[in-house]
Amino acid sequence: MSGGLKISIKDELLKFRTKLIGATEVESTLIDLDAKVDEFIDWYFKNMVKGNYTDIGEYHAPREMRDLIEKIAVWYELRYPSYEINRLMPGSGQEQINVNDVMFKNNPYVNELLDENSDAKELDWNDFYNTNVFMKSLPWEERCYFTKPRYRNIVYLNPNSRVAHLHLTKNGFVEMAEDVTGYTESVIKDEELTGLNVRDVVKLFQEKGIELPENNELEKTINEANKWIQQKEGILDCAMYRIIERGGNRIGPRRAFLFAKEFGRNIDIPMMYAVDRSDPGLRLFMNEYIKSGGSKDLECYVGYFSRASKKEKLDTVTIQDLILTLWNNAATFYTPEEDELHQRLANAIASQVDQETVKQEEVKRLRLERKLEKSRINKG
């Protein structure tokens, strides 16, 4: 298959997303995290629920979606309690408690069943209550939201005539094409479509200048798949928003940062809501963000969790400005890691200077030897 025919799912999502969302912008400009969740629920109702459920189903579906989002946020809190988040990325006083001890070593149920030297007591709770286990524990009606999109079995180029059509696998690849040769007057032949993804088929039609009818089922099944993917991403994004809100100004963004890294969400978002100038671990958190590929130009909200109302205007500050002005703690400006990096840089510069000095001395020595040799020859 030609590389020029490949269309990534991400590109297709960007292409169709505005149409799918309707009145909602491609990238939400809302600041309030609860409002972002409301925005998604509204999209979900308009695009995935309306017309596909009974009246009773349409009434209950949005609430059930909110429940699922909240369940994911609560699961992540149980997996990473506040004291564990604070141990991983300090931001306040550390409780003398370890989740592994609570769940395994000091668990009466475990102690009754297992010997005190059992390897089970060395289990790690974060790994034990992992994503795969959580997803499998969900009932099917919730777990299904995280399955891959399924494409239609048969799609007609023109549903009004129902002649030229494609047989697709559940993943959207063409198993067989029928009557496309006649439909396109041999510009595109049936056999050359076998094995192509339906997205590549649409791209090929565009490249050949063949216009598909507005109600063609090729683009319709692609749109359905895009909406299914967007739904999954929206659920995860909303879970991240709720993790931030539920955790508060320090724990929330840190826990959401872990969630974003694990589920491929935008790590900028937790960082944008993390600015609390009294946070003794903020500079360390910013370092983790930068090391994970974050941008120093990111603009963060100042005082999101200290607002008096949702309408209150918030100032912003860039990560770069914070790096230049925010002290690590009352005693030191830089973090130990930054001091180490600075020392390594200074050592590297000093090493370069030393090497340059040695080279210069060597050049001087060679010049002097040549002069002495030349002088001996002239005297001889």
Distances (CA, A) of 129 to 76, 85, 207: 9, 15, 49
69-104 tens-digit pLDDT: 999 999 999 999 999 999 998 877 778 888 998 998
263-298 tens-digit pLDDT: 999 999 999 999 998 898 999 999 999 999 999 999
- What is the C-alpha separation between 337 and 325, in angstroms, rounded? 17
Q: Please tell me the predicted confidence (pLDDT) of residue 19.
A: 41
Please count the CA atoms within 13 angstroms of the CA of 118 that sit on its side-chain side: 14
pLDDT band for position 229 (50/70/90)? very high
- Kindly give, in sequence order, each residue whose CB lies less than 8 Å from that of residue 258, ignoring residues fewer than 6 positions away: 76, 80, 85, 88
β partners of residue 174: 168
Other beta carbons within 10 angstroms of residue 206's beta carbon come to 11
The answer to which of 102-116, 162-176, 212-226, 361-375 has the lowest mean pLDDT is: 361-375
Q: Sign of dihedral through CA atoms 13, 16, 18, 22?
A: negative
CA-based nearest residue to 329, from 371, 270, 280? 280
Q: Please tell me the predicted confidence (pLDDT) of residue 380.
A: 59
pLDDT band for position 330 (50/70/90)? very low
- What is the C-alpha separation between 42 and 48, in angstroms, rounded? 10
- Strands 154-156 and 165-168, sheet pairing: antiparallel
In the block, residue with structure tokens 């709720």: 242
The answer to which of 56-65, 204-213, 284-293, 352-361 has the lowest mean pLDDT is: 352-361
The answer to which of 107-121, 156-170, 340-354 has the lowest mean pLDDT is: 340-354
In the block, residue with structure tokens 């799609």: 155
Full DSSP string of 187-202: SS-HHHHTT-BHHHHH
Residue 55 CA from chain centroid, whole number? 35
Q: What mean pLDDT value characterizes the chain? A: 86
Q: Is the pLDDT of residue 129 over 70?
A: yes
Q: Please tell me the predicted confidence (pLDDT) of residue 105.
A: 85
Q: Locate the DSSP E strands across 225-305.
A: 299-301
- What is the C-alpha separation between 275 and 286, in angstroms, rounded? 10
- What is the C-alpha separation between 37 and 284, in angstroms, rounded? 29
The answer to which of 104-113, 128-137, 193-202, 223-232 has the lowest mean pLDDT is: 104-113
Phi, psi of 281 (to 5 degrees): -110, 10
Q: Please tell me the predicted confidence (pLDDT) of residue 339.
A: 53
185-214 tens-digit pLDDT: 999 999 999 999 999 999 999 999 999 999
> Which residue type, as a one-letter code, is found at position 54?
T
300-316 tens-digit pLDDT: 999 999 999 888 899 99
Q: What is the mean predicted confidence (pLDDT) over 353-366?
A: 72
Q: Please tell me the predicted confidence (pLDDT) of residue 217.
A: 96
In the block, residue with structure tokens 């683009």: 219
Rounded (to 5) percent helix, strand, coil in the chain = 60, 5, 35
